[in-house]
Each structure stands twice: as C-alpha cells, then as structure tokens.
Amino acid sequence: MPPILVIANPRANRGRVRHRRAQIQRALAAADARYDWQEPEYPGHAATLAQMAGAAGYATIAVAGGDGTVSEVVNGLMMADDSAVQPALAIFPCGTGNDFAAATGFMHADVQTAGCLVAGQSRAIDIGRVVLHADDAAQTRYFNNSLGVGLEAATVIQADRIQRLNGVVLYAVAAIRTLLHFRAAPMEIECVRHDGHTQAVSGSIMMVSVGNSPRTGGGFHLTPQAKLDDGLLDMGVATAISKLRLLSLLPRALFGKHTSDPAFTLWQCRRIRIQCADGIPVHADGELLSAAAQKIAIEVLPGRLRIHDVRSNNGLAIKKKRG
C-alpha cells in the first residue's frame, strides 16, 4: 500500500491539531497505515505539498485541519501536472466549522477514518472554480464546499475577529454583528441552469450563496438540496429585506427551512456570473477572496476531485484486523 501523506495544519482552530496529533497517529498505527506527517510552515505550503503529492507516490492525502486547510489542499491538487495520479482526499476534522468533513462523512472516530484510508476505496465528487476581478486584477480559485457573496462573505470577515467561539455559534454571532451595518448591493446575476436555460436576476441583493454541499458556516444549510456528485452547483439568492426579517430567517437556515421565504430563491446551476460595480465581498470555503470584487464567474467541474468513500469503508480495515 502506498504511504499516506498527512497534512496537519498546526494553526487550525487555534492550534487544536497539536492536541489531536497523538490521537490521530494512534488511529493510523492501529490500522497499520504507513504515513508521512507534514505540517505546513507558511501560507500556501499545504497547497504546494498537495500539488507534489501524486508525483511523489502518495495515493492518499489526509488533512488534519479545518475547512480552510482542506480548501488549500484541494487547490494544490488542482494545480498538479498530472490529474491521472491525483491522490484521494480524506479528513481528520480539526477546524472551527468542519462543514466539508460533515458533508463527506468524515465526522466519525479517528480509528474509523484510518480504517477507511487503508481500505482504499474512493469516489469522484464535483468542485467549483471561480474567477473574480477586483480593480482590474484577476484571481482564480477552486472551492470544494461553498462560495458566498455579500452578507455571507462579510460574516466570514466578522467571524475571523471573534475569539473563543466555534462552529455554528461562532457564525451565528458573526452574522448578527454583521447585520447591524451591512447593506444590500445592486447586482446583476446570470446563471446557466441545470436544464441549459439562462436565468437572470438584477436588483438590490443581500447575499448569494453557492453550495456544492448543503452546509456552510459551521452548520447552516443555506443550500439544503445541494449534492456533491450531481454535476451542479446550488445557488441561493436573497433579495434586500428588513434586518428584523433576516434575523428571523437565521434559526430557520440551520435546518434549511429559510427557502420557503419568498425573499430567498434557489437554482441549480452549471455556470454563474455576478457583477457588482461597487464591489462586494466574496469568500470560498470560509476564506475571504476579496473585499470588493466587481466581476465573479463561477462554474462546476463535475467529478474533478477524488475522496475516500467512508459510506462503505468506515472501519473496514479495523474490523478485519480485530476479527
């Protein structure tokens, strides 16, 4: 069996990986897994490690970190020269939100995840690619879980300023604080829907949520019908409404019940284009991409990422060893 590359971010969730390292390594040892443990030393290092992993002979990358670390690793995988030797992804969740780990089933005990890595079965899922322009400068980014424009991205900025909170509580508090001063912005939105038809929306928009998975913000189901392997991205658009009404939608969004409100509309899309002359904040997988993007182009890349299939493999190797 080829060795596993563990990319462990020591700064994720205020250093939680340091407390989890021994536990994860015991789980890998119990599964008789061969692995190399690497801790990124500077911003972008995780992407570089992931980019070179396939050529170095690794068949699996296991991320010990949060959504930001996972996203950086995915971006590294997308930059690799040979996609035919792309390692399969797995996650030991150690972040503040762990939304993608939840969507892909990696919230089980470490010993079960380690067993899944040894069993070795994987599946293909979609990812998104965004190209955004701000002040004539362009950047390209891949996202595996979600992308947000407007209020959702402004909430990410606020969440980074809050200490001692995690998960859905962190993002709920950040959202409430953001609502106090955030204003809707004039946007023009155009998307190619699942049926090939074009949908256009324009006006004063509070936020746009693009989901590859249902969950974002530590537990909010803003795009509750999104699926990782359907070849589509789900887009939710919230028009300008009163802050009081928006606050009332916040608890409903935990369970995906906000979609019944007429101010929130959902589409399944292949491609999305958003323009905002004044500039609008954008995040991908919980990482701020721009505070004032003016043009945003998004598309789905079907089946572009391989992940270990915990649905059928969880704990298989451990059970065989004990049996």
Domain stops at, among 102, 120, 138: 120
Burial class (CB in 10 A: 0-12, 13-18, 19+), 142: buried
Q: What percent of the chain has pLDDT over 70?
A: 96
Strands 198-211 vs 146-150: parallel, antiparallel or unpaired: antiparallel
**Is the per-residue pLDDT at 317 higher than 80?**
no
* Rg, the chain, Cα only: 19
Reported as a single tens digit per residue, the pLDDT across 214-226 is: 999 999 999 999 9
What integer pLDDT is reported at residue 289 of this predicted model?
97
Reported as a single tens digit per residue, the pLDDT across 27-78 is: 999 999 999 999 999 999 999 999 999 999 999 999 999 999 999 999 999 9
Reported as a single tens digit per residue, the pLDDT across 165-203 is: 888 999 999 999 999 899 999 999 999 999 999 999 999
Sign of the Cα torsion 67, 70, 76, 77 reads negative
Question: Same structural domain for residues 277 and 158?
Answer: yes
* Average pLDDT of the residues in 153-161: 93
Token match 């608890």: residue? Answer: 251
Question: Same structural domain for residues 277 and 137?
Answer: yes
Question: Same structural domain for residues 163 and 257?
Answer: yes
**Is the per-residue pLDDT at 151 higher than 90?**
yes
Q: How many CB atoms lie within 10 A of CB 194?
A: 15
Q: What is the mean pLDDT of the chain?
A: 92
Q: How far is it, in rounded angstroms, from Cα 221 to Cα 83?
A: 31
Token match 């996203």: residue? Answer: 71
Structural domain includes residue 318: no
SS3 279: strand
**Is the per-residue pLDDT at 12 higher than 60?**
yes
Domain containing 115: what range? 4-120
What integer pLDDT is reported at residue 323 of this predicted model?
37
SS3 231: coil
Question: Same structural domain for residues 162 and 274?
Answer: yes
Question: Same structural domain for residues 163 and 110?
Answer: no
pTM, rounded to two decimals: 0.92
Overall domain count for the chain: 2
* CATH number for 42: 3.40.50.10330
Structural domain includes residue 317: no
Counted residue by residue, the chain has a size of 323
Reported as a single tens digit per residue, the pLDDT across 268-316 is: 999 999 999 999 999 999 999 999 999 999 999 999 999 999 876 544 4
